[in-house]
Amino acid sequence: MPSRRAVLAATAALTVGGGTARADESTRPHELVSRMTLEEKVGQLFVPRVYGHSATAPDRADVDANLKELGVRTAAELVERYRPGGIIYFGWAHNTRDPRQIAELSNGIQRASLALPRGLPVLIATDQEHGIVCRVGRPATLFPGAMALGAGRSERDARQVGLTAGRELRAMGIRQNYSPVADVNVNPANPVIGVRSFGADPEAVGALVAAEVRGYQDAGVAATAKHFPGHGDTAVDSHTGFPVITHSRAEWEELDAVPFRAAVAAGIDAVMTGHLLVPALDDSGDPATLSHPIVTGILRERLGYDGVVVTDALGMAGVRTKYGDDRVPVLALQAGVDQLLDPPDLAVAWNAVLNAVREKEISEQRLDESVLRILRLKGKLGLLDEPYVDPGAVGRVVGRAEHLALAERIAERTTTLIVDEGPLLPLSPRTHPRLLVVGADPASPSGTTGPPTGVLATALTGLGFTATALPTGTEPADEVIRQAVAAAGKADAVVVTTYNVTTTSPQRTLVERLAASGRPVVAVAVRNPYDVAHLPAARACLATYSWTDVELLAAARVVAGTVRPRGRLPVPVPRADDPARVLYPVGHGLTY
C-alpha cells in the first residue's frame, strides 16, 4: 500500500497540473473544480456498480458481466473511462467476500483513480442497513435492524450501532453508507420498507434516525437518510412499480417529514430520494427523484438542506415508467440531485448528462454546484488526504469481540414478546426437554450461518434442550404439514418460525394443525411483527424483526429464559379480521 507521504503527494497534485500549492479546506474544492475537464465533472456525479472482488484481476465471470453491462473489464478500467465520483458495493456483484478483500478492492479503486491526470479519490458506498439488508456479511459485526432498534427505543443503542458499524466500514474503505432508513412505516402491507423502518411513530423514528446519523458520522462515514420524501405508506415496491403516496400536505408534514427534519438537524451528510409519486407535493406526475418542487423546493429550500442528494438506484422501475434512461439522469440533475446512483446503462446516462451540459440544457454552473457538494463531502471524510486504508489492520477493527458482544446485548433488548398464554414461556429443559423447530427458512441475509430453523435448533440444543430442525418453508404443502405434525408427536413443544404470514397463508394452517396436536406452539416472527395477528393458535409469539444470527440467538435465549424479553412494538399490529382496528398498540410488549 502507498505510504502516507505518497498519498499526500498524489492528492496535492490534484490542485494544479504539476503544481504543489495546497489550498485551505474551504477553497480547495473550488480549486479542484476549476482545473477539471467537463468530462471529469460529469464523472463525479455517477456512482455505478462494478463486478469483481479485485480492481484489476476479477474472476472471469465478473469480467464478462462488466463487459456486458458496463463495456469495461475491471473496476480500474471503469474508473479510467468514466472518472466516477463514487462506486457502490454489492454482495451479488462479488465486491464483499471478506473484510481484507474489501479493503484491498477499495485501495485498488483509489489507486486506479489517483493514477489518472487530476485523479480524485472515489467515494465508495454500500447499503449496510443491518437486519434484513446487509451487503457486508460475517465476520463483520451484524446488528439488529431498524425496527428492532425501534423496539428497543434506545437512542444510545442507535448511536452505538452507527458508530461501531461506521468504524468497521471505514476500515474497509467504505466511506458512505446508504443508511439509516428515515421512512415512517404506517402501512403493514408495505412490501419494501417494513422492518427497515424504525417504526410508525414519526417522533420516535426521528430521534433514532438522528442518533444513528451522529454515530456513523462520528466514525467518519457519511450517513444517508432515505427515501425522501417518505416511502412508509405504500403497498408498491419502487424496485418493481411506481408507488403513489396519497398523504395530504398536512399529513406529510406531520408524518413523513419529521425524521428527515431530524436528520437535517443532526447534520446529515447525504439524503437519498425515493422513486415515489406524491401528488400533494408535486402534481406533475413525476417521481420525487425527478421533481424540482420536491428536491429543490422542499428538501433544499424549505428544510434548509445543502448537502449531497443522491438518487435511489436508477435501474428501479419507479423512476423508469415515464422517461427513458437517457432523460432520467438529466431530469434528476435539473430537480436538484447531485449523485446519480447505479444507472442501468452507464454509457447512456453519462453521455446524456455530458450532452445536456454541452447543449446548455444544464448549465455548467449547475453542474459545478453538484461537483462542489461532492468534493466538500470527500474533504470532510478525509478522502482528499487519506484515501487508502490498511488491509493489515482490518482484522483489528472488523468483528471485534466487543462489537459482537454489543450486537448481542442490543438483540436481547429488542426481542419482543407479544403473546404468552398461560404463561408458557420460558420453556425449561426439565419440563420440555424435546423441541421441534419448524417453519420458514427465507433466503439468508449476510448475517446468518444457516437457515433460521437450523440456527434456532442449534442454539436451543446448546441451552440444554434436544432440538430438531424440520424446515417447512414459507408455503408448506399439505404433505409437509402432515410430516411436521407427525414429528411434533415426538416433541414436548414446537417452535415455529414465521415469515410474512397472511390470512390465507399455509404457514397459518401449519401453526393451527400443530396446536391441534396438543403440543404447545411458540411462534417466532422472523420478519414482520404483523404475523401475530394471523396466529391465534400459537400460545406464545415473539418478534425478532429479522433472521440474522444475532436476533435468532437472542430469541433462543428468551425462549429458554436465560434473558428476559424487553422489546416493545414500534408499530401497531392490526386485527386480521378488521385491519382498521388495532390488536396490539405501539408500546405493547410482555416480559416474565
Biggest CA-to-CA distance, the chain: 82
What is the per-residue DSSP string for 478-531? Answer: HHHHHHHHHHHTT-SEEEEEE-S--TT-HHHHHHHHHHHTT--EEEEESS-GGG
pTM: 0.93
| pLDDT exceeds cutoff 70 at 14 | no
> For residue 333, what is its C-alpha cell?
440533475
Break the chain down into helix, strand, coil percent, rounded to 5.
40, 15, 45
Q: Is 275 a catalytic residue?
A: no
The total number of residues written for the chain in this structure: 592
- DSSP-H helix ranges across 239-278: 249-251, 257-265
pLDDT band at 21 (very low <50, low <70, confident <90, very high): very low
Cα gap 354→167, rounded to integer Å: 36
* C-beta of residue 123 within 8 angstroms of C-beta of residue 269: no
Strand ranges across the sheet with 176-177: 86-89, 123-126, 176-177, 222-228, 270-273, 308-310
* Residue 242: CB atoms within 10 Å: 19
Q: Write out pLDDT tens, residues 149-159.
A: 999 999 999 99
Cα gap 477→480, rounded to integer Å: 5
Indicate the residue type of 42.
V
DSSP symbol at 36: -
Q: Which of 312, 420, 441, 492 is catalytic?
A: 312
Q: Is 237 a catalytic residue?
A: no
Task: Give the mean pLDDT of 533-554.
Answer: 96
Closest CA to 589 of 561, 570, 562, 563: 570
pLDDT band at 236 (very low <50, low <70, confident <90, very high): confident
Q: What are the domain boundaries of the chain?
A: 4-396, 415-584
Q: Which of 239, 325, 368, 385 is catalytic?
A: 239
Please state, in angstroms and as integers, the Cα–Cα distance from residue 450 to each residue in 181, 276, 475, 552, following that order: 26, 35, 19, 11
User: CATH homologous superfamily of domain 4-396?
Assistant: Glycoside hydrolase, family 3, N-terminal domain (3.20.20.300)
Secondary structure (3-state) at 277: strand
Q: Write out pLDDT tens, residues 40-49.
A: 999 999 999 9
**415-584, CATH topology level:** Rossmann fold (3.40.50)
> For residue 393, what is its C-alpha cell?
489492520
% of the chain at pLDDT higher than 70: 95
* Residue 496: CB atoms within 10 Å: 28
Domains 4-396 and 415-584 share a fold: no
pLDDT for position 237: 81
Exposure letters 287-316 (e unless 16+ CB within 10 A, then b):
bbbbbbbbbbbbbbeebebebbbbbbbbbb
Q: Write out pLDDT tens, residues 294-311.
A: 999 999 999 999 999 999
* C-beta of residue 394 within 8 angstroms of C-beta of residue 106: no
